[in-house]
Structure 1
Amino acid sequence: MTPPASDQRRAGAPSPALTMLGPDFPFSYDRWLRHPAGLGVLPAVQHGREVAVVGAGIAGITAAYELMRLGLRPVVYEADAIGGRMRSEPFPGYADHHAEMGAMRFPRSARSLAHYIGLVGLRTRPFPNPLAAATSSTVVDLGGVSHRARTVKDLPPVFQEVEDAWNKTLLELAELSVMDDALRHREVDTVKAVWNRLVPALDDQSFYGFLATSPFFTSFRHREIFGQVGFGTGGWDTDFPNSVLDVLRLIYTGANDDQEQIVGGCQQLPERLWDHRPTDSAHWPRGTSLAALHEGGLRPAVTGLARIPEGFLVEDAEGGARPYPAVVFTAPHRVLVTKVAGARRLFSAAHWTALERTHYMCASKLWVLVDRPFWYERSPETGHPLMGMTLTDRAPRSVYLLDDGPDRPAAMCLSYTWNDDSLKFSALDPGERLETALRTLADIYPDVDIRSHIISGPISVSWENEPHFMGAFKANLPGHYRYQRRLFSHFMQDDDTPPGGRGLFLAGDDVSWTGGFAEGAVTTALNAVWGAVRHLGGTTCPENPGPGDLFDRLAPVNLPE
């Protein structure tokens, strides 16, 4: 559900679209990207100089692409393949059909991400979240009882009571109306004033604690239902231990509403950006791409970092060692602290503590390909569609139904789970996961033989078991605000940065305030680009200041230690 928005000061005027203009650092990255002056200028002596980019997910590819446009020669290191958690895996025997193993839905408010989606010519369409306009049928299954709905008004009154409790909690305890209006109109002073009041008040509060102390959620049953099925993309209970600040960031910025999917698979975005040939690069011939600068392909995984007089020595898994004046590191923090020798010496004690304390969510998915989108067919007994997008308190938790039309094979995400629910699947192989999901769904849909429609799969993933990720995405715990501020602000290379670490920049959604969202990966990559340009003697254009140029005005509130 989308919380009510306020536009009291401009009654009658159309409200501007919401953007993921984060309340911690409300810098308009989308406008910085679109400005004709570009992201900056480097001294000619730096043109063609190599810089290392560690990780080829969307953060790494974005950073490499923009550094190339500025005239540098990025050298990209990757342990696996381009895409990272933007992984679109083809079904065996059906190369034209894919399963989205990581990222799969993107809010329309993610304007910086949308810039690159448009740049490479990709199309999007609405994602069929529960009760969304694009979803023809939603089934909410709780306590062994199923309810069909198109909107929340079709559900029993208790669900509407829960929605009302959530909206009232946001309006009364989180100043939603004021923040929504300020974010839509990019009134950064108001955004900062509201958020800087809330951060010290809520930093130590878990999401569940926030609900439990709300006068609108005094009923345990209401809190339980909210956790089991929630609003927007589904249940919230796996987020209950996390910082409520993390949740409020997503609500304020529309990250959990009005989401879209990338037609043909999200991995196309980093892959196409890798091959994209900009016409306005400094130094490089017209049409030069990242792929053209990597004739030998991606460099292998980074295994060591060391400070040398020239900058940094980057060691890789094939025994190579190359010097660079600057490094942008976008891989997960767990990789940095467990698999990269020498990294500890490049960070202050405060920053290293923040890296070590990064908390990750677990996440598992299970996909199959079926012969057709049979779920639209109607039961002769009830007249209802055979299946709907499903939310349940049972093991699969969420079932998503994705199709390209009535006469083509269609993809079913039979289970998408987080944290404890993910760990229930973590030790099972794909076949065992499939049997578990089918048994449960047979209870919810006793007249539907899903198995008879399966033509490929199962395909599954548990991100906590992936050796190059060790978790799905960062999620702060109560009290983690100070850690997150240190990591986000690292690109400024302030007095707390050891001299030996100057020129090493962190990026990726681990660094962002909105872990698990590609927008945060993109915007922190842009922070790192700004930092690298400054480190190498470049500047931004006065008419298009970058995030570091406005940092003093927009900086996240600094809580006392």
Structure 2
Amino acid sequence: MAADAPVTIFGPDFPFAYDDWLRHPAGLGTVPDEALGSEVAVIGAGMAGMVAAYELMKLGLKPVVYEAERIGGRLRSEPFAPGEPEIAELGGMRFPISSRAFFHYVDMFGLNAQPFPNPLTPASGSTVIDIGGETLYARTLDDLPEIYREIAHAWDAALERIAGFTELQDAIRTRDTAALKDRWNKLVREWDDRSFYDFLATSDEFGSLSYRHRELFGQVGFGTGGWDSDFANSMLEILRVVVTNCDSDQFLIEGGSEQVPRGLWSHAPENIAHWPAGTSLASLHRGVPRAGVARIRRLGADRIEVTDRWGDAHVYPAVVATCQAWLLSTEIDCDESLFSQDMWMALDRTRYMQSSKTFVMVDRPFWKDVDPDTGRDVMSMTLTDRLTRGTYFFDNGPDRPAVICLTYSWMSDALKVLPHPVERRVELALSALRKIYPNVDIESHIVGRPLTVSWEDEPHFLGAFKGALPGHYRYNTRMYGHFHGQERLPDAERGIFIAGDDVSFMPAWVEGAVQTGLNAVWGVLSHFGGRTSPDNPGPGDVYARLGPIDIGE
């Protein structure tokens, strides 16, 4: 690829071109004739599960999807009124254009994407930063006081000096796997045991500035907003996000992101093995997935029994588990022998971050009204240290109601509202916003019912997404590489594959779910004795050469 090619989520831990693998005319592979039509259980109908099921169906296998709640997982687009287009994106709502495997499916279904109204971007129009009781109005970074430009410069300079940011991105653009692995592996050894805050506090760039600079960076940040809820996370996780442009050039999916997994459920692919034309996952399931899983147990080699919540049990030669890792210890009764003790350690030590959102529908995009006294928008995308943290505005076009995400908060800020019903959450958010916009009567514009979510309170999720702590690289490597090399495992551990963004090295981003779902497809393909085309090798074919570095015990 040329040096001016776009940055994509290509590695950095495993630099495999999933987008190229998906669009290659040879397809993802073939299974032996005797395996065609064989059933494979897929646990979870989120993005990872739907990608795995859809691609396995195209190979001529029969995915049997189990879902405890609804298709979509954490791509949950909740309508304010049934049949109407206004939705609240309770889960994933902003998708970096670097997520090329995810956008492969977005484009396949002809869905439209538009820039997400992040702070200080043209899509937001204007931004208000309210910190420590001081309210600032801006359209670009240059409209803010000098301290914010000092923070931005320190952040960019620290990334460049410590991480070699430009060279890393150049290797991603050109898909130079040797250069990327060489540079990234050095960072893994240096930063696996160190936190994001350690990076800031010990860097020359931030060390020469005041504590106030780090505090503002935590509250406001750059790109998607404040970073302080990630301060305890491994710095490797933050480096992955910024080097692959996950925190910039983000888009929303018009009509809701849930359309993508639902599209995979209902779409009848043209190029499909074994099954007749017109076959879809929906048609193979007579319209609905099976109920949520209550138990998984081993009956013998290539015999894994899956029992749903109503006691209906079926035996499969292979299982793909895409539910969040904790559920394998809490909600699902799993035979301990299905995974090694090292794998159970990794699954159980996975750490999930809390997240809460509250939305309201309003009669019109009134925030675009101009205050005649100031010439400013009456409200703006808002970042604050108050309870709301982030407030976002969504215009659904002329003559349609609009939507406000009153509050999007993480970790301790999300826990502050956990006990409260949606009406109280709205009251608390409006109270906070009233202090920033004392002359705006938001309540008079609210129509319909408010919507909210706390992902840590959802029994089928127990958290929003993984946030790896320092020292978790080994756990992540065990989980991510589980799809590969199963022929070396004991029979009791073979034939079950895990996937999801918490299995990936890119938690909280849907691309991680897509990529690990595709890893599971390769694993199942291999398990059935199938193979990929020599012209289009899959992730397992190159894992020994491109896989994550082994940093030892």
State the partner residue of 1:95. Answer: 84
Secondary structure, counterpart of 2:205 in structure 1: coil
The alignment's C-alpha RMSD in Å is 1.2
Residue 240 of structure 1, CA deviation: 0.3
What corresponds to 1:502 in structure 2?
A: 494
Match of 1:83 among 65, 69, 72: 72
What pairs with 1:289-300 in structure 2 (closer than 5 Å)? 289-295=280-286, 297-300=288-291
Distance in 2 (CA, whole Å) between partners of 1:287 and 1:256 is 39
Residue of structure 2 in register with 1:3 after alignment: none
Equivalent residue for 1:137, pick from 126, 137, 158: 126
Q: Which of 445, 458, 464 does residue 453 from structure 1 map onto?
A: 445
Distance (Å, rounded) in 2 between the aligned partners of 1:154 and 1:52: 54
Q: Distance in 1 between matches of 2:212 and 2:157?
A: 17
Cα separation, 1, equivalents of 2:361 and 2:512: 31
Structure-2 change in CA distance of 1:25 and 1:505 (3 Å) = same
Correspondence for 2:58 among 69, 73, 77:
69
Q: TM-score, normalised by structure 2?
A: 0.98
The superposition leaves residues 540-560 of structure 1 with CA deviations (integer Å, 9 ceiling, x where unpaired) of 000000000001110100111
C-alpha displacement of 1:495? 6.9
Q: Is 1:527 paired with 2:519?
A: yes
- Counterpart code for 1:69: K
State the TM-score, normalized to the length of structure 1. Answer: 0.97
- Stretches of structure 1 that go unaligned for 5 or more consecutive residues are 1-9
Question: What letter matches 1:157 in structure 2?
Answer: E
**Corresponding residue number in structure 1 for 2:255:** 264
Deviations 1:103-155 (A, max 9, x none): 00100000000000111121111110001122211111111111111111110
2:266 maps to 275
Question: How far off its partner does 1:407 sit?
Answer: 2.6
CA contact (8 A) 1:337 1:343 kept: no
Question: 1:493–1:303: structure 2 CA closer, same or farther, 3 Å change rule?
Answer: farther
Deviation per residue, 1:215-242 (Å, 9 max, x gap): 1112211110000000000000000011
Query: Once the two structures are superposed, what CA deviation does each residue of 1:323-380 show, in whole Å capped at 9, x if it has no partner?
Result: 0000000000111111221342200011000001000010000000000000010011
Which amino acid in structure 1 is aligned with residue 338 of structure 2? L
Q: Confirm whether residue 398 of structure 1 aligns to residue 390 of structure 2.
A: yes
**Number of the residue aligned with 1:7:** none
| 2:456 is aligned with 1:464 | yes
Aligned to 1:192: 181
> Does the alignment pair 1:285 with 2:276?
yes
Aligned twin of 2:100: 111
Residue pair 2:21, 2:537 contacting (<8 A) in 1 also: yes
Is 1:487 matched up with 2:479? Answer: yes
Q: Give the letter aligned to residue 315 of structure 1.
A: T
Find 1:53's aligned residue among 19, 37, 42. 42
- Decide which of 431, 435, 439 is 2:423's aligned counterpart: 431
Code of the residue aligned with 1:162 in structure 2: it is I
Question: Structure 1: how far apart are the matches of 2:228 and 2:258?
Answer: 29
Secondary structure of 1:281's partner? coil
Seen in structure 2, the aligned counterparts of structure 1 residues 374 and 296 have a Cα distance that, compared at 3 Å, is closer
> Could you tell me whether the CA contact under 8 Å between 1:493 and 1:502 is conserved in 2?
no
Aligned-residue sequence identity (percent) comes to 53
1:362 paired residue number: 354
3-state SS of 1:548 partner? helix
- Maintained 8 Å contact 1:346/1:498: no
| 2:22–2:28 Cα contact (<8 Å) kept | yes
Cα offset, 1:15, TM superposition: 1.1
* CA shift for structure 1 position 94: 6.9
Residues in 2 aligned to 1:378 and 1:422: alpha-carbon distance in whole angstroms: 32
CA positional deviation for 1:306: 1.1
- The letter of the residue matching 2:492 is G
Give me the whole-angstrom Cα distance separating, in 1, the residues matched to 2:3 and 2:531: 37
- Cα distance in 1 for residues equivalent to 2:212 and 2:355: 26
> Which residue does the alignment assign to 2:245?
254
For 2:172, the equivalent position in structure 1 comes to 183
Does the CA-based 8 Å contact 1:243-1:477 persist in structure 2?
yes
Shift of 1:497: 3.5
- Asked if 1 retains the 8 angstrom alpha-carbon contact of 2:3 and 2:174, the reply is no
Is contact 2:86-2:396 (8 Å) kept? Answer: no
Distance 1:243 1:457 in 2: 39
Q: 1:523: Cα distance to partner?
A: 0.4
**SS of the residue 1:384 aligns to:** coil
Cα deviation for residue 522 of structure 1 reads: 0.3
1:93 Cα deviation from its structure 2 partner: 6.4
Q: Is the 8 A contact 1:93 1:456 kept in 2?
A: no
Asked if 1:44 is matched to 2:29, the reply is no
Size of the alignment, in residue pairs? Answer: 550
- Relative to structure 1, is the Cα distance of residues 148 and 94 closer, same or farther in structure 2, using a 3 angstrom cutoff? farther
Q: Give the CA deviation at 1:496.
A: 6.7
Shift of residue 256, structure 1, vs aligned partner:
0.8
Structure 2: 5+ residue stretches without partners: none
Distance 1:308 1:343 in 2: 10
Match among 87, 111, 117 for residue 128 of structure 1: 117
Q: Secondary structure at the match of 1:199?
A: helix
- Which residue is 1:316 aligned to? 308
The letter of the residue matching 1:383 is G
**Counterpart amino acid of residue 262 in structure 2:** E
Separation of aligned partners in 2, 1:301 and 1:436: 35
Shift of 1:14: 6.7
- Report the AA paired with residue 354 of structure 1: A
CA distance in 1, matches of 2:140, 2:428: 29
Aligned to 1:6: none
Q: 2:505–2:512: 8 Å Cα contact kept in structure 1?
A: yes
Secondary structure (helix, strand or coil) at the match of 1:266 reads: coil
CA distance in structure 2 between the partners assigned to 1:308 and 1:93 by the alignment: 44
**Aligned pairs (5 A) from 1:20-35:** 20-35=9-24
